Amino acid sequence: MKRYIYVLFMFITLNLWACSDSEPSTDGGGEEVVDKTTDCQSANEKGAYTTWYKPANGWVGDPIPYYDNGKFYIFYLQDWRSGYPFLHPWHMVYSTDLSSFTFGGETIPCGKEDEQDVALGTGGVIKDRTTGEYCAFYTGHQWKWQEMGVPTQAILLTTSKDMKTWTKKGEHNFYLSLRGQSGYVENDCRDPHVFYDEEDGLYKMVVTTHTDAGATLALFTSKELQNAKAWTLQEPLYTDPNIWVMECADVFKEGEYWYLTYSDVADRKVHYRYAKSLKGPWTKPANDIFDGIAFYAGKTMSNGTERYLAGWCPTRIGDGDEDQWGGSLVCHRMLFNADGTIDLKLPDGIDKKFTTLKKTVLIDKSGKAVKKEDSYVLSDVASVSFPRLDKTCKIEATVKATGNDDAFGFAFGACDDKTEVYSIRFDLKNKQLVMSKDDLTRGTTPTQTNVALTVPADKLFKVKIVAEKSVCVMYVNDKIAFSNRIDKMPKNPWAIFTDKGTEISFSDIKVYE
């Protein structure tokens, strides 16, 4: 009899907890119906993404961001994953606040089989200070280079007067390569980035290549933007003997510092350096990496007051498989510190996009989980689950840790018995954010990817997560961004959790659509 009364008491308590743990819907549509089921479901990933942009057909490759006259333009390599030898024509989308995008069409088509640009690579866009034309410098890749007697890669040019109609200058009017340049791997000449140096009064172009010194960013200078013969090769801007190649490089100035960003094909991460002069010396910060391995080919754009970093979050063939090339567009806001270091935060346009507050009803819990006013206190191996993520949404939460070795986080795909979820875990002992496949009933398993975590003295973490289909991007304390592709996330419940020996408070948990 006592056992029956106890079970009944626990049943009533849990249900009262769940009923009280809800927020009224603010969309004016009446009482919100909440799905409290916990069975695993599979989502349909077909079609376009709107926030973390992906076209309805194909995927986003290397972004080439550019800002002009109130609009953010994102040119990118359209990845059809078919069509060889015609690969990666340039497509473009534009936005006023990066929260959604309008398709601007194909800007640079692939050339013919006997032309240098039968396949295209990334580059950069700049406005000609003399003519006012928009100039898109890009990589042309020719597969039959030996047969044709040309370099594998060369720099070509396309121009436009209105950002709508683009005209190729043609190989006879603009063609720049490293052929015949001593010390350079002449077939490795790609990813041009062009900027104007106010101090020298010169256009400058950095090009990805390789020398005996290692990965190299070659430097060309010119006073005439569209005259290939006027571009002169200078001493390299930067070399790194420890890596093979620096892809998708970007160079810009913010405040008193020059910044250099690039993607390392070996570790699949975006890095940065900074210096007081383009001649160096270049400083490598203690944490020189933006985001994790699910954010690549990052390049920047500025509207004059704010600068943004645009990259792609890769797709995956299946669980545990290597990331594919190309995926969805992800944009971070960059914050520049007085010491030259850079933090990342959620762009305001995306942050303000989500306005409908959804119910955060408890649908399941395990272990030591206690509800205290607007907080959940979890201890040891414990978890609390919330309803399915059916639509693109923003999750907000404040997390207070207590110990230096605490481990806790957010789990996605928290369905069925929660023995196979994908978690983003705060590992305070090792000062890192970790994405891994976990069993919430037993603890964590080996890391799949991670980023460095700055742990404040008060161990307080303000968290924002924007989830669209399988793309999950977390921001912590307006300092850290962590992107991941989690195929099990859409259409399934999510959870908060703690690991062994931990007591954590999760408060102000909100979900907005």
> How much is the pLDDT for 5?
37
> How much is the pLDDT for 320?
55
Q: How far is CA 385 from CA 21, 340, 391, 493, in A?
A: 12, 40, 17, 7
Domains of the chain and any CATH numbers: 57-351 (2.115.10.20), 355-510 (2.60.120.560)
Structure-model confidence comparison of residues 4 and 429, the more confident one: 429
Mean pLDDT score, 323-331: 92
Q: Which residue has the tokens 């249900």?
A: 15
Establish how many alpha carbons lie within 13 A of residue 19's alpha carbon, considering only the half-sphere containing its beta carbon: 6
Mean pLDDT score, 302-314: 97
Average pLDDT value over all residues in the chain: 91
> How much is the pLDDT for 237?
98
Do 405 and 497 meet the contact criterion of CB atoms below 8 Å apart?
Answer: no
pLDDT higher than 80, residue 118: yes
Structure-model confidence comparison of residues 511 and 446, the more confident one: 511
> How much is the pLDDT for 134?
98
> How much is the pLDDT for 350?
98
DSSP codes joined into one string, 299-314: EEEE-SS-EEEEEEEE
> How much is the pLDDT for 146?
92
In this prediction, residue 316 has a pLDDT band, given cuts at 50, 70 and 90, of confident
Do 156 and 168 meet the contact criterion of CB atoms below 8 Å apart?
Answer: yes
pTM for the whole thing? 0.92
> How much is the pLDDT for 400?
97
> How much is the pLDDT for 419?
82
256-297 residue pLDDT tens: 999 999 999 999 999 999 999 999 999 999 999 999 999 999
> How much is the pLDDT for 501?
79
> How much is the pLDDT for 33?
83
Token duo for residue 95: 């936005």
**Can you say how many angstroms the Cα of residue 28 is from the centroid of all Cα atoms in its chain?**
34
Q: Sort residue 148 into left (φ over 0), alpha (ψ -120 to 50) or beta.
A: alpha
pLDDT higher than 80, residue 15: no
> How much is the pLDDT for 30?
55
pLDDT-wise least confident of 22-36, 198-212, 300-314:
22-36
Alpha-carbon span 177 to 254, nearest angstrom? 30
